[in-house]
Homo-oligomer: A and B are copies of this chain.
Amino acid sequence: MARTGRPREFDKEQTLERALKLFWSRGYGATSIQDLVDALAVERGSLYGAFGDKRRFYLEAVRLYWEVYERHLLTALDTSPLLPALREILTHPVRLDELISDAGVPQGCLVGNTTAELVPQDSEATEIVTHSYRRFTDIVTDALRRAQAAGEVTGRAHPEAQARMLLYLVQGLSLVSRAGSDTAAALAAIDTALDGLRA
């Protein structure tokens, strides 16, 4: 029976969220433990006690990121007609208004950033990233299948192929937007792709 000791003074979940934002904007390598200590107002020892080493801390943040995103994806795509919802999802990276981004600039997708920086060197990172991509395509494939059946989306291509195209599209948009976004141009590009899906 676990005798409980001194209770943790900081909110672990909230600290992870804040660390996520820092990792998201600066990347893994460029974020030092000292940066985290300063930004989170939690001492080094406590961080190590709660999250293990830096790598585990980061990977945990990526997992949380994906978890939140996946939930958003599932609820957003559970609708008909599908294409407006899809447009919402795809253009999300350049619509800074909502969600987690503090800085006011697009920071790309944390999964994508991880892919660039840690994959394929780090096998655990590769696992997380691969899982996320897989989940994305599965969820979008299901939605497209329904939309094809409803006659909203063209059946000229398999929904798997369409979903994967959308994965590439959203990852590309997320990445490129990090370098500064011309929102109008981005929307036009997304709409061009979506037009190709229309029945």
Q: Which residue numbers of A lie inside 8 Å of B, CB to CB?
A: 26-30, 105, 108, 112-113, 115-117, 119-121, 126, 129-130, 133, 156-158, 160-162, 164-165, 167-173, 175-176, 178-180, 185-186, 188-193, 195-197
Which residues does chain B contribute within 8 Å of A115, judged by CB atoms?
108, 116, 175-176, 178-179
User: What residues of chain B lie closer than 8 Å to A121, measured between beta carbons?
Assistant: 26, 30
Instruction: Give the docked Cα–Cα distance between A26 and B129 (Å).
Output: 17
| Closest CB in chain B relative to A94 CB, distance in Å | 11
Smallest Cβ-Cβ distance to A171: which chain B residue: B172
Interface of A is mostly: helix
Within the oligomer, what is the number of copies of this chain? Answer: 2
5 tightest A-B contacts by CB?
A196-B196, A29-B29, A168-B172, A172-B172, A116-B116
Q: List 29 A-B contacts (CB under 8 A).
A: A27-B117, A28-B29, A29-B30, A105-B120, A115-B175, A116-B116, A119-B179, A120-B178, A126-B180, A129-B179, A157-B191, A158-B188, A161-B185, A161-B188, A164-B185, A165-B189, A165-B190, A165-B193, A168-B169, A169-B169, A169-B193, A171-B172, A171-B175, A172-B173, A172-B175, A192-B196, A193-B193, A193-B196, A195-B196
Chain B residue with Cβ nearest A128: B179
Give the residues in chain B near A130, CB-CB below 8 Å: 179-180
Q: For residue A170, which residues in chain B have a CB less than 8 angstroms away from its CB?
A: 168, 172
